[in-house]
Amino acid sequence: MTTSPARRAISLTGIKPTGVPHLGNYVGAIRPAIALAADYDAYYFIADYHALIGVRDPRLMDEYTRSVAATWIACGLDPERTVFYRQSDVPETFELQWVFSCLTAKGMMIRAHAYKAAVDRNRAAGESDLDAGIDMGLYNYPVLMAADIVVMEADVVPVGRDQIQHVEYARDIVERFNQAFGAGHTLTVPRHVIDEAADANTMPGLDGRKMSKSYGNTIPLFASTGELKKLLKKLKTDSTPLEAPKDPDGSSLYAIYRQFASADQAADLRARMLAGGLGWGHIKDELHALLDDHLREPRERYAELIADRAGLDAILRAGAERARERARQVVGNVRRAVGIDA
Ligand code: TRP
């Protein structure tokens, strides 16, 4: 008799291609997820069909998908070790989404944060139809996300706080499946993981608010060295004069600096800010040098990946093959459990 070896736990996350990645994406999501991949069988994918709820320009869909894929690889994701693929290349996901729809309480969906926020906006705008402008993509979003997670039977899902509810929904849906069909197959119940360091240190943007595409205050991760310089010039500082001591904890410049610096470098800048005599312009130059140092190589790698369309396609296709191998097994088990293909 053979015993199957215990499988390594699977970590899975999706990245919605809705823009060109910025420093906040790197520190908040990319860097922690790549670090986590070392301890798991990692499945990371570009959630292009999720992005379709907002991206309605085919050229932008293509551009953002490639930009996000190239960014993760340039930042150190190893596509040999991590299964890296496009959501749309795994059609089993969409089959599982239907099965899950049949098990999902509609009442739960009307409590989903994104849907509720859209309804609240309509109410605030005095709309008589509270569902005005809301499509089924937004409404079903959490069910598709549950399918993404479970089609690989992931154990852990690294996400930001805004996505916790979605992972909870996936758990709920899996539990309903297991209750109904567990005699045939028991699906793995996933759980979210939050990177504590990334969660505790949000990256400020050019205007001091959290760096976010929706605020238009981002610094693109792979801005050229010249663009980076120009953007940092725009970064908001207070009017403390050059000679005066500066409060590192109230400074966006320092907040960005410490995300990239070693502990010693950060302590050193901190001491010099507190001592006075260091102007904002100097600090910006130091931040520029530090960022440029960190990003020079990945920036070059990124440019190569973007220039080689066929090469990037081949990487994603190879990832999709591996992803589908697993997805076919899981969906095969689901089909048999519900009595289709019994
Ligand atoms: N909803 C996630 C976001 O907006 C992206 C996503 C899609 C995802 N499918 C997923 C994340 C599955 C984790 C697991 O960031």
Query: pLDDT digits over 143-197, tens only?
Result: 999 999 999 999 999 999 999 999 999 999 999 999 999 999 999 999 999 999 8
Quote the pTM value. Answer: 0.94
Nearest CA to ligand 1 atom 7: 14
Q: Span 268-277, mean pLDDT?
A: 96
Amino acid identity, position 130: L
Sign of CA dihedral 221, 223, 226, 228: negative
Specify the residue with its C-alpha closest to ligand 1, atom 6: 14
pLDDT at position 6 is: 67
Give the three-state DSSP class for 242: coil
Average pLDDT over all residues of the chain: 95
pLDDT value at residue 201:
86
CA–CA gap between residue 127 and residue 251 (Å, rounded): 41
- Looking at residue 7, what is its pLDDT? 77
Nearest CA to ligand 1 atom 10: 14
- pLDDT for 1 equals 46
> Tell me: the pLDDT tens digits for 298-329?
999 999 999 999 999 999 999 999 999 999 99
pLDDT for 212-260, tens place per residue? Answer: 999 999 999 999 999 999 999 999 999 889 899 999 999 999 999 999 9
Closest by CA to 151, choosing from 86, 89, 92, is 92
d(C-alpha 231, C-alpha 168), whole Å: 39
According to DSSP, the β-strands at 83-86 and 10-15 are unpaired
Q: Please spell the DSSP secondary structure of 297-316, one letter per residue.
A: HHHHHHHHHHH-HHHHHHHH
User: Stretch 79-108: mean pLDDT, rounded?
Assistant: 98
Mean pLDDT, to the nearest integer, of 267-289?
96
Q: Give the CA-trace dihedral at 330, 331, 333, 334, to 10 degrees.
A: 120
Query: Ligand 1 centroid vs 227 CA: distance in angstroms?
Result: 30
Distance from residue 209's CA to the centre of ligand 1 (Å): 24
Q: What is the pLDDT of residue 226?
A: 97
Identify the pLDDT of residue 342: 75
Task: Name 333's bridge partners.
Answer: none
Is 60 exceeded by the pLDDT of residue 14?
Answer: yes
Residue 96: predicted pLDDT: 98
Using CA positions, which residue lies closest to atom 3 of ligand 1? Answer: 16
Burial class (CB in 10 A: 0-12, 13-18, 19+), 111: exposed
pLDDT at residue 4 tops 60: no
* Pocket test residue of 12, 15, 48, 195 for ligand 1, highest count of atoms within 8 A of CB: 15
Q: Which residue has the tokens 């028991």?
A: 186
pLDDT exceeding 90 applies to what percent of the chain?
93
Query: How far is residue 93 from each of residues 40, 216, 246, 327, measured CA to CA in Å?
Result: 21, 33, 52, 7
